[in-house]
């Protein structure tokens, strides 16, 4: 039996033994006695009696072990021209000082801190400072607007919000302060303080008495020590899009998270202490949490924090420049980013001048990896390309070729095999397993391994109803797909109304709520349609109230303003009617099929087939970038 199969079988038959062994890689204040608490099933808790501090494991421990001078974090920012390296010692000292500053502002164990920050080292410092205090951070992606931010503030109820004054996008400065002010005006919760990191590219004007700058917060602060917490205490909340407009607060605990990420770094990513790991993502997403910040630092590796794009900063050779300059050994990004590079530099000429000899592996995740992109990247870099499938909820890969365990053959279009710890099944509508080759819902047998969400923030009930109720004893991933006869998994897409735009997970429900709130709109639908670069892009369809009129451009702007530019809704069509079932449900799946060019059968449940017929030409019109259309 190969090493992968052996590890997988053990993780299934003896999960407690498997994870007890993995837990020895972590420094505990109180090592785990009990490994898994099953008493409140279907809610499970890993390492229920253990205590640790995640920041200690990410920083202090490595300094104490002699890695103090090794680079911990390299901030490479082509959009601001900044390049700065922090050693483990420097990063620990900055984190300890900012933790002291947060403590002085009233932040203690269990308190929440919302971070609305750009890709700067202080974001990582703030995350780890929270971890140091046993506080709970909740990072909000900078591309989200006021509505999304307000929803997160009201759910997390932070003691303090830390924001950067601005983000820097190619060609424009994104001022965060107006969005923060609008969100605070909209939210009912009032934080005790807002700390603003002033960036020279766009400083903010502090408006509330309780606001202070990052520098002022640090003045006279006393470095804070690591506060031990229970392994089951929350480390962070990361909100993610569900089918409704209300984001889900995915909770990550301290102990299971540290154990799982540390294990994944060696077993899946084949990366160890001293290696240079670069996840070209954003700290606002789960990939950023797990593989820019926590996993590389828990491992004693060097992480690269890249504030730039795959193209345009300054060109499509940017990724190869960064990888060569910092001696990156393992790289991780989204297929969209590779497609963007390929589009601008199809022959990969811009990679030619760079020495990429240290690069061993390229990992791609966040959306389906199409075989063409997989093949192109492999040809260009001459290293294995590893598709891996996971989601915010799991925090680390569910399916991948576990390169640290064994070199398994890869297959284009498949993220390979279930990672040890994950009992992956493909089931039909009754919950029965379907044979290889047949499509179904992908579910995970309970308990989920360490590192996955133990619940949703303050809402066990919603966790159970959203994820654990469809097929008892399993976790519903929301993805559909199939296994082949070799046990390789193929993930074909979401089975719900969540869409994936340029590797960003977005809710069509949230966009619909914004459109529906416009006084001229009677009803609306937002669907995700195929896009060659971004995988999917949203398209909106609105029916107006009798006698009402609106410029679709206004609706596009409204979504951009409320949800944020990352929503990337560029086209809204005004239509006469939306196809519905006789019970009034909008036939979004049928609309999506037609928009994607598939021959969609007319559902037998349709109320008025003429409405669908009238909509067909609008749906089939693929001018996505025409911004907005009016069909009287």
Q: Give the Cα separation of 44 and 77 in Å (integer).
A: 41
Cβ atoms < 10 Å from Cβ of 22: 21
Q: Which of ligand AMP, ligand COA, none sits in contact with 137, Cβ below 5 to 8 A by type?
A: none
Q: Which of 68, 100, 143, 256 lies at the binding interface for ligand COA (CB under 6 A)?
A: 143
Provide the minimum distance between the beta carbon of 365 and ligand AMP in the complex, in angstroms, as a whole number: 4
Burial of 258 (0-12, 13-18, 19+ CB in 10 A): buried
Rule CB under 6 A: say whether 283 interacts with ligand COA.
no
Taking residues 508 to 547 in sequence order and writing x for each that binds ligand COA by CB under 6 A, - otherwise, the string is ----------------------------------------
Strand partners, 442: 426
CB-CB neighbours of 175 under 10 Å: 15
Q: Tell whether residue 160 is a contact of ligand COA (CB under 6 A).
A: no
Q: 138 and 112 in contact (C-beta within 8 Å)?
A: yes
Minimal distance, residue 312 CB to ligand COA, in Å? 8
Contact 362, 377 (CB under 8 A): yes
Identify which of 212, 93, 119, 88 has the alpha carbon closest to the alpha carbon of residue 160: 212
CA gap 324, 356 in Å, rounded: 5
Classify strands 172-175 and 166-169 as parallel, antiparallel or unpaired: antiparallel
- SS3 category, 473: coil
Rounded to 5 degrees, what are φ and ψ at 189? -75, 140
Q: How far is the CB of 117 from ligand COA (least distance, A)?
A: 9
Tell me how far, at minimum, the Cβ of 417 lies from ligand COA, in Å.
21
Which C-beta is closer to ligand COA: that of 42 or that of 143?
Answer: 143
Q: Which two tokens stand for residue 280?
A: 């070209």
Instruction: State how far Cα 185 lies from the chain centre.
Output: 27
77 versus 392: smaller Cβ distance to ligand AMP: 392
CB of 390 to ligand AMP, least distance (A): 6
Q: Rule CB under 6 A: say whether 317 interacts with ligand COA.
A: no
SS (H, E, C) 150-185: HHHHHHHCCCEEEEECEEEECCEEEECHHHHHHHHH
310 part of the interface to ligand COA, by CB under 6 A: yes
Using CB under 6 A as the binding rule, the residues of this chain from 23 to 52 that contact ligand COA are none
Minimum CB distance to ligand AMP smaller for 289 or for 580? 289
Residue 224 DSSP class: P
Q: How far is the CB of 463 from ligand COA (least distance, A)?
A: 23
Q: Which two tokens stand for residue 574?
A: 């005004």
In the complex, least distance from residue 338 CB atom to ligand COA, rounded to whole angstroms: 9
Residue 167: contacted member of ligand AMP, ligand COA, none (CB under 5 to 8 Å, by partner type): ligand COA
Q: How many Cα atoms occupy the beta-carbon half-sphere of 201 within 13 Å?
A: 20
> CA–CA separation, 69 vs 89, rounded Å?
6
> Quick one: 252 or 321, whose CB is closer to ligand AMP?
252
415 binds ligand COA (CB under 6 A): no
Closest by CA position to 503, among listed 594, 389, 419, 386: 389
Which of ligand AMP, ligand COA, none does 336 bind, CB closer than 5 to 8 A by kind? Answer: ligand COA
130, 158 contact by CB (below 8 A) = no
Tell me the two tokens of residue 205.
């004007």
Quick check: 344 binds ligand COA (CB under 6 A)?
no
Contact call for residue 287 and ligand COA (CB under 6 A):
yes
Q: Are 203 and 169 in contact (CB under 8 A)?
A: no
Of these partners, ligand AMP, ligand COA, none, which one is at the site of residue 56 (CB under 5 to 8 Å by kind)? none
Q: Going along 391-509, which residue ranges are E strands?
A: 399-400, 417-418, 423-427, 440-445, 474-483, 489-494, 498-501, 504-507
Residue identified by tokens 């290889």 is 436
- When asked if residue 122 is in the footprint of ligand COA (CB under 6 A), the reply is no
Work out how close the CB of 143 gets to ligand COA at its nearest, in angstroms, rounded to a whole number.
3
292 is a contact residue toward ligand COA (CB under 6 A): no
- Dihedral-angle region of residue 502 (phi above 0 means left; psi in -120 to 50 means alpha; beta otherwise): left
440: its two tokens: 């179904």
Q: Does 177 bind ligand COA (CB under 6 A)?
A: no
Kindly state the smallest distance separating residue 38's Cβ from ligand AMP, in Å. 26
**Unique residue bearing structure tokens 């001078």:** 69
> Which partner in ligand COA, ligand AMP, none is near 54 (CB below 5 to 8 A by kind)?
none
Q: Which of 7, 140, 166, 311 binds ligand COA (CB under 6 A)?
A: 311
> Is residue 174 part of the contact set for ligand COA (CB under 6 A)?
yes
Site string for ligand COA, 560-599 (x = CB under 6 A): -----xx-x-------------------------------
Q: Does 368 bind ligand COA (CB under 6 A)?
A: no
- List the single partner that 240 binds among ligand COA, ligand AMP, none, CB under 5 to 8 Å by kind: ligand AMP
**Nearest distance, CB of residue 21 and ligand COA, angstroms:** 30
- Other Cβ atoms less than 10 A from the Cβ of 231: the count is 29
Q: Where does this chain touch ligand COA (CB under 6 A) — which range of 27-35, 309-317, 432-440, 476-484?
A: 309-317
DSSP helix/strand/coil, 439: coil
- State which of residues 502, 558, 569, 587 lies at the interface with ligand COA (CB under 6 A): 502
Cβ distance 117 to 197 under 8 Å?
yes
Residue 337 contacts which entry, ligand COA, ligand AMP, none (Cβ below 5-8 A, type-dependent): ligand COA
Q: Is 299 helix (H, G, I), strand (E, B) or coil?
A: helix
Region from 30-38, 336-344, 413-421, 470-478 binding ligand COA, contact rule CB under 6 A: 336-344
CB of 330 to ligand COA, least distance (A): 14
**Burial of 528 per CB tally in 10 Å (0-12, 13-18, 19+):** buried
Residues that bind ligand AMP (CB under 6 A): 240, 285-286, 365-369, 387-389, 391-392, 415, 477-479, 491, 494, 500, 505
Q: Does 97 bind ligand COA (CB under 6 A)?
A: no
Is the dihedral angle over the CA atoms 381, 386, 391, 394 positive or is it negative? negative
Asked if 169 touches ligand COA (CB under 6 A), the answer is yes
Nearest distance from C-beta of residue 503 to ligand AMP, angstroms: 8
Nearer to ligand AMP, 100 or 284 (CB): 284
Q: Which residues, including other chains, have CB under 8 Å from residue 402's CB and lie 6 or more apart? A: 4, 7, 267, 268, 408, 417, 419, 420
- For the bound state, the minimum distance from the C-beta of residue 249 to ligand COA, rounded and expressed in Å, comes to 19
The item of ligand COA, ligand AMP, none sharing an interface with residue 415, based on CB under 5 to 8 Å by kind, is ligand AMP
What are the residues binding ligand COA (CB under 6 A)? Answer: 142-143, 167, 169, 174, 281-282, 285, 287, 309-311, 333-334, 336-337, 340, 365-366, 501-504, 565-566, 568
């Amino acid at each position: 039996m190969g090493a992968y199969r052996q590890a997988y079988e053990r993780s299934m038959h003896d999960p407690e033994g498997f994870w007890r062994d993995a837990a020895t890689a972590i420094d505990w204040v109180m090592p785990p006695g009990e490994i898994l608490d099953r008493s409140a099933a279907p809610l499970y808790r890993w390492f229920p009696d253990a205590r640790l501090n995640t920041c200690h494991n990410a920083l202090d421990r490595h300094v104490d072990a002699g890695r103090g001078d090794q680079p911990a974090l390299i901030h490479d920012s082509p959009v601001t021209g900044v390049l700065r390296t922090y050693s483990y010692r420097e990063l620990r000292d900055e984190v300890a000082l900012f933790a002291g500053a947060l403590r002085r502002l009233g932040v203690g164990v269990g308190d929440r801190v919302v971070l609305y920050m750009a890709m700067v080292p202080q974001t990582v410092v703030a995350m780890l400072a929270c971890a140091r205090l046993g506080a709970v951070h909740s990072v909000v992606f900078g591309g989200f607007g006021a509505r999304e931010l307000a929803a997160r503030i009201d759910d997390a109820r932070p003691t303090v919000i830390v924001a950067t004054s601005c983000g820097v996008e190619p060609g424009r400065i994104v001022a965060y302060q107006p969005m923060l002010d609008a969100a605070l005006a909209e939210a009912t919760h009032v934080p005790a303080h807002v700390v603003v990191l002033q960036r020279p590219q766009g400083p903010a004007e502090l408006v509330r008495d309780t606001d202070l700058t990052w520098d002022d917060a640090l003045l006279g602060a006393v470095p804070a020590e690591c506060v031990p917490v229970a392994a089951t205490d929350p480390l962070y909340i990361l909100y993610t899009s569900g089918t409704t407009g209300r984001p889900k607060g995915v909770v990550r605990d301290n102990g299971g998270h540290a154990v799982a990420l540390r294990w994944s770094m060696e077993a899946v990513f084949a990366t160890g202490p001293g290696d240079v790991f670069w996840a070209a993502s954003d700290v606002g997403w789960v990939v950023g949490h797990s593989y820019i910040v926590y996993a590389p630092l828990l491992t004693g590796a060097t992480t690269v924090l890249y504030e730039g794009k795959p193209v345009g900063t300054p060109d499509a050779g940017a990724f190869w420049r960064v990888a060569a300059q910092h001696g990156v050994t393992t790289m991780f990004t989204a297929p969209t980013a590779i497609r963007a590079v390929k589009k601008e530099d199809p022959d990969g000429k811009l990679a030619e001048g760079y020495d990429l000899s240290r690069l061993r592996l390229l990992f791609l995740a966040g959306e389906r990896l199409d075989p063409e992109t997989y093949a192109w990247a492999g040809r260009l870099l001459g290293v294995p390309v590893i598709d891996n499938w996971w989601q915010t909820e799991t925090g680390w890969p569910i399916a991948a070729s576990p390169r640290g365990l064994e070199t398994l053959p890869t297959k284009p279009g498949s993220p390979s095999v279930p990672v040890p710890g994950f009992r992956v099944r493909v089931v039909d509508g009754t919950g029965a397993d379907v044979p290889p080759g047949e499509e179904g819902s992908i579910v995970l047998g309970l308990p989920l391994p360490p590192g996955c969400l133990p619940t949703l923030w303050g809402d066990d009930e919603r966790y159970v109803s959203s994820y654990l109720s469809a097929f008892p004893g399993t976790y519903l991933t929301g993805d559909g797909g199939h296994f082949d006869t070799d046990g390789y998994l193929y993930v074909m897409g979401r089975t719900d109304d969540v869409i994936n735009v340029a590797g960003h997970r977005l809710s069509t429900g949230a966009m619909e709520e914004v459109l529906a709130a416009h006084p001229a709109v009677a009803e609306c639908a937002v669907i995700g349609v195929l896009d060659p670069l971004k995988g999917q892009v949203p398209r909106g369809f609105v029916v107006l109230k009798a006698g009402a009129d609106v410029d679709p451009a206004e609706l596009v702007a409204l979504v951009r303003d409320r949800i944020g530019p990352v929503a990337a809704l560029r086209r809204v069509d005004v239509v006469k009617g939306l196809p519905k079932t006789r019970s009034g449900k909008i036939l979004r799946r049928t609309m999506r099929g037609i928009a994607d060019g598939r021959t969609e059968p007319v559902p037998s449940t349709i109320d008025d087939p003429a409405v669908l017929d009238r909509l067909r030409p609008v749906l089939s019109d693929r001018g996505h970038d025409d911004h907005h259309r009016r069909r009287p």
